[in-house]
Homo-oligomer: A and B are copies of this chain.
Amino acid sequence: MMRQAGRYLPEYRETRERAGSFLKLCLTPELAAEVTLQPIRRFNFDAAIIFADILLVPYALGQTLTFTEGEGPRLSPRIDRTELGRLRDAVDRSVTEPVFETIRRVRGALDPQIALLGFCGAPWTVATYMVAGCGTADQAAAKLLAYRDPMTFAQLIDRLVAASADYLVEQISAGAQAVQIFDTWSGVLSPEEFERWCIDPVARIIAEVRRRTPEAKILGFPRGAGTLLRRYAERVPVNAISLDWTVARDYARDIQSHRPVQGNLDPHALRAGGDALLRAVDATLDTFSGGPFIFNLGHGILSDTPIAHVEQMLARVRGH
């Protein structure tokens, strides 16, 4: 599942409490490894995904990062033309090293049959937080900067391309068998902006990661890309594409004919449970099980999802 670890698990809540803060949980390898392994122990998934946060990259580039309960993340100062010049040229290794150590620990503790995934945020999505200083409903601040001062915005994206490629290469070196690039906010752009700020930067990250680790397995998740998914599938040489739950069934099968697909159960169906969940699981299986496919949610699990519903979903998928 996307965000396998998290608040829907009591053992996660206990470890999160022990860590004191969300950021400390991400950056303390012993605890981050523990919460990465918890869902594997409980559900025996085929793959573990490292516990971390997409905003560790801006933190490692010099922005201050805080997570306040109920408020979401805060980055400061907000990036504009002036502040861009004050960012580091490359990531601060003292920030990212704990993530690599977490990967080494998890890889050491994990059954060799179970894959370990690393990840980063895509440059566009990470930039929306860096420019606004927080999460936003419509990503307006980054969109405005990109429209008004595309040179500055392109420099920010270039910085993120380089930092993200380094970060993924190091994750792979530490023991991640595959990495996923999450473009959570790719669905708010016009076709031309999507080409420039989503497709191009992710393609450049992949080229650099493959140059340095040619066998790298890379998944892309352009959430909400809608009718731009086909272009993404054609232009971005990922090994597999994650789809959200809104994609038309025929369109989704067409994407699968270009690239293996991961997805795409509606997290609200998992939250709801019952017959609706079974119907939604079956619809996903019917759509994709004729081709290369990784069953997954179409976005992160909701924090109030009952564990019994996860078990119900797994029984249905494993019984298929």
Contacts and interface: CB of A to CB of B under 8 A. Distances in A.
Interface of A is mostly: helix
A143 B246 CA distance: 13
Contacts of A189: 246
Interface residues of A, number: 44
Interface string A257-287: 0000000001011011110110110010000
Interface in A127-178: 137-138, 140, 143-144, 147-148, 150
Nearest to A139: B268
Contacts of A140: 268, 271, 302
A272 B147 contact: yes
Contacts of A273: 148
A54 interface: no
Contacts of A138: 268
Contacts of A269: 147, 190
Nearest to A280: B190
A185 to B, nearest CB: 12
A273 B283 CA distance: 44
A251 B227 contact: yes
A147 B265 CA distance: 13
A305 B257 CA distance: 43
A144 B272 contact: yes
Given A148-B276, A227-B226, A274-B148, A192 B283 contact: yes
Contacts of A280: 147, 190, 192
A203 interface: no
Contact of A188 (B150, B246, B247, B251): B246
Contact of A190 (B148, B225, B246): B246
A170 to B, nearest CB: 34
A182 interface: no
A86 to B, nearest CB: 24
A190 B226 contact: no
A191 interface: yes
A193 B269 CA distance: 11
A123 interface: no
A248 interface: yes
A245 B148 contact: no
A231 B248 contact: yes
Given A189-B246, A227-B248, 9 more contacts: A138-B268, A147-B268, A147-B274, A187-B224, A191-B248, A192-B280, A193-B266, A224-B224, A227-B251
* Top 8 A-B pairs, shortest CB-CB distance: A226-B226, A147-B272, A147-B276, A227-B248, A227-B251, A143-B268, A190-B245, A148-B272
12 contacts: A140-B268, A140-B302, A148-B273, A188-B246, A189-B246, A191-B247, A192-B280, A224-B224, A227-B229, A227-B246, A227-B247, A227-B248
Interface of A: 137-138, 140, 143-144, 147-148, 150, 187-194, 224-231, 245-249, 251-252, 266, 268-269, 271-274, 276-277, 279-280, 283, 302
